[in-house]
Amino acid sequence: MPTGVAMRDAREQLFDAAERVLLRGGPSALTSRAVTAEAGCAKGVLHRHFADFDAFLAELVLDRIGRIRARAAELRDRAGTGTVAGNLTETLMTLFESVAVAVAGLVISRDELRARLRQATPTGVPVLTEATAVIASYLTAERELGRLAADADVDTLAATLVGAGHLLFADRKGTPPGTAALGRVVTTVLAGVVQEP
């Protein structure tokens, strides 16, 4: 590997490389050597920016959580437009077609990583917990607009939607479900609480 070559945005390049390795080979393929090889840099670059590999992985997960949180405002702004089921189906497709499922598997498979992330996410599986909060926030906005029943339990609905979506997408070796399959799940979960014309 070349040394002494300047990398612009080294952290982001390493994160993107780790994501590609994770999506291609799963959590067991994710090593510091695999990440730096994918990024095209010397192994020392990773250790210059992070205390150790688990610190790198924790920062990667926190970065991806930040991206999920950034989408919260976008989804909440859609409240009152389109259909509730359509908005949620699109959001869940985007979430689960991304690296979220792979990151959840990574967190589950590494005890040290999970322990480090407990400081930021004390309960649940990081990434999925944040996705659930984003969905709950959106459902709350729709309930306030009268497009969901006033007594709709948005927290339970959000957890159910994220859990069901994760189950559909969790088999990374299989063909992921299409929008229609996910839409059926969303529509079924929301049956009885949606009050759209």
Q: Residue ranges per domain, the chain?
A: 1-49, 61-190
Architecture of the domain spanning 1-49: Orthogonal Bundle (1.10)
User: Cα–Cα distances in Å, from 132 out to 10, 42, 62, 158, 185?
Assistant: 30, 38, 16, 5, 16
pTM for the whole thing?
Answer: 0.80
Maximum distance among all alpha carbons in the chain? 63
> According to the model, what pLDDT value does residue 174 have?
67
CB neighbour burial string for 9-29, b if at least 16 within 10 angstroms, e if fewer:
eebebbbbbbbebbeeeebee
Q: Do domains 1-49 and 61-190 have the same CATH topology?
A: no
Class of CATH domain 61-190: mainly alpha
Mean pLDDT of successive 10-residue segments in the chain (197 residues)?
55 91 87 93 88 90 83 88 95 80 82 82 79 94 96 97 89 76 95 85
